[in-house]
Structure 1
Amino acid sequence: MEKTFKTKNSKAVEIVDILDSKGMNLELLFATNVLKLKSLHYGYWDQEQKTDLDDIRNAQIRYTKTLADMIPAGVEKILDV
């Protein structure tokens, strides 16, 4: 992704990634160490639910389980991009 662009009035604007500091991914650090989440995805919501941290954790587990259930028998490797 390009890190700079020009606005309509030709002003140069730089995109700064505030979630990366000195090689550390702060989003991942915050999600795993502060919120105690296991993943960065939002999870799988199969019905309308409130969105507190416990529900997000449960949705993440549901999402991971749903994906794992779709893997055919005999598959040994998966490329996650």
Structure 2
Amino acid sequence: MSSFQQAIANMPEDVYQRLKTAVELGKWPDGAVLTPAQKESSMQAVLAWQAMHNDNPEHMTIGKGGELVMKSKSELRRQFRDEAEITRQKLN
């Protein structure tokens, strides 16, 4: 196992979440913009982490084992319907 793979295997989920958010937003939590090199390496780390740890992949992610997972609209509706509702308020 390479040192990159070892680092990803030992990466805590909260670090993965911060990297994923940084890639999605294009900036670090402090607001600094990711350089193209940072974005590329962060994306590689996010995809590698998902391939090793993602037991419950969302729509269009990499599942455990490295497979691309694309959930259908009906699967997504069922997933969100089964989640507990936090609150519902009338806006009028």
Fold match, TM over 0.5? no
Bigger share in strand: 1
Bigger share in helix: 2
TM (normalized to structure 1)? Answer: 0.30
TM (normalized to structure 2)? Answer: 0.27
